[in-house]
Amino acid sequence: MDLLLFFFFAFLAVAAAINLVVQTHPISSALSLVGVMGSLAVLYLLLGAEFIAAVQLIVYAGAIMVLFIFVIMLLNAGAEQHRRAKLFPVVAGMPALFAFLALASYTISKMFPRGLPAVKFGEFKGGGAGEIGMAIFTKYLLPFEVTSILILVAILGAIVLAKKEID
């Protein structure tokens, strides 16, 4: 049953991600991103990481997507204009894409040889609030603080840009 749920929600996440890129209207793309985030939350649940799944839904599918949709509506962005595709990028891009994928898969297979098998449902013990809190505030304290400083700088930059437009 777990395998069937995994394949269903993995397919749903990939389909929503493809729809995210293919859509021409920004609101439809944002809603497709909500589908990706929801599917990822279910995949985290299948791994036994309930806390990470809850954070995925609350923070990303909830708060961040509301912010994205608010910005899209604030900008009053319409649908993209359809332009005719050129033939050369498609013809040159496909072999380049396959070469890149082959090189990336070869590099990843050499860097990460066969590892541990995937854990079954409920056997993963690293997704609780205690384990994540200990990891963030011990091993990953510097990246956590640098990220908070970057977010603060982005907020200050948004305030400065908004103030210039008001004046």
Q: What pLDDT score was predicted for residue 70? A: 74
Radius of gyration of the chain (CA): 21
Give the chain's residues under pLDDT 70.
Answer: 75-80, 82, 115-127, 162-167
For the chain, give every domain's residue range: 1-81, 83-113, 125-167
Distances (CA, A) of 17 to 32, 49, 120, 124, 146: 7, 22, 26, 26, 29
Q: What pLDDT score was predicted for residue 123? A: 66
Q: What pLDDT score was predicted for residue 102? A: 95
Q: What pLDDT score was predicted for residue 92? A: 82
Q: What pLDDT score was predicted for residue 79? A: 62
pTM of the model: 0.61
Q: What pLDDT score was predicted for residue 165? A: 57
What are the two backbone dihedrals, phi and then psi, of residue 126, each rounded to the nearest 5 degrees? -105, 10
Separation between Cα atoms, residue 100 and residue 41, nearest integer Å:
29
Please name the residues in contact with 56: beta carbons below 8 A apart, sequence gap of 6 or more.
Answer: 37, 40, 41, 44
Give me the CATH code for the 1-81 domain, please: 1.20.120.1200
As given in the structure block, the two tokens for residue 89 are 């990028």
Q: What pLDDT score was predicted for residue 124? A: 66
For tokens 């384990």, name the residue: 131
Separation between Cα atoms, residue 10 and residue 39, nearest integer Å:
7
Separation between Cα atoms, residue 25 and residue 48, nearest integer Å:
35
For 9-19, the pLDDT digits (tens) are: 999 999 999 99
Q: What pLDDT score was predicted for residue 9? A: 95
